[in-house]
Amino acid sequence: MKRLLKNTLNIGLLFLILGLGVRIGMRMPFPQLNPKYPIIQVNPKSLDQVKHFIVLISNEGLMGVSRGTGVIIDSTHVLTCAHLMPQADQEMWLYTYPTGTVLKGKVQYSEFFNDLALIKLSKPVHLPFYPRFNNQADEGSGLVVIGNTLGSMRWFVTYGTVLGVDGPYILTDALIRGGNSGGPWFNYNGEIVAITDWGLTKSNGMEEGISGGVSAKTIQKFLNNSKHPNPFAMFFGGLN
Question: Looking at per-residue confidence, does 95 or 39 come out higher?
Answer: 95
Superfamily for domain range 44-129: Trypsin-like serine proteases (2.40.10.10)
- Please report, for the chain, the start and end positions of each structural domain, with discontinuous segments joined by +: 44-129, 142-220
The predicted model scores a pTM of 0.77
Question: What pLDDT does residue 231 have?
Answer: 63
In tens, the pLDDT along 65-119 reads: 678 999 999 999 999 999 988 766 678 889 988 778 899 999 999 999 999 999 9
Identify the band that residue 44 occupies on the pLDDT scale cut at 50, 70 and 90. Answer: confident
Question: What pLDDT does residue 218 have?
Answer: 97
Question: What pLDDT does residue 69 have?
Answer: 94
Question: What pLDDT does residue 235 have?
Answer: 52
In tens, the pLDDT along 180-196 reads: 999 999 998 889 999 99
The reply to whether 44-129 and 142-220 are identical in fold is: yes
Residue 83's CB is within 10 A of a number of other CB atoms, namely 16
Question: Looking at per-residue confidence, does 18 or 121 come out higher?
Answer: 121
pLDDT at 16 over 60: no
In tens, the pLDDT along 108-153 reads: 999 999 999 999 999 999 988 899 999 999 999 999 999 988 888 8
Question: What pLDDT does residue 171 have?
Answer: 96
Question: Looking at per-residue confidence, does 40 or 176 come out higher?
Answer: 176
pLDDT at 222 over 60: yes
Instruction: Report, as an integer, the average pLDDT of 4-17.
Output: 47
Superfamily for domain range 142-220: Trypsin-like serine proteases (2.40.10.10)
pLDDT at 18 over 80: no
Question: What pLDDT does residue 88 have?
Answer: 62
- Cβ–Cβ < 8 Å for 110, 234: yes
Question: Looking at per-residue confidence, does 160 or 150 come out higher?
Answer: 160
Query: Mean pLDDT, the chain, as a whole number?
Result: 79
Question: What pLDDT does residue 63 have?
Answer: 56
Among 82, 78, 89, 98, CA closest to 181: 82
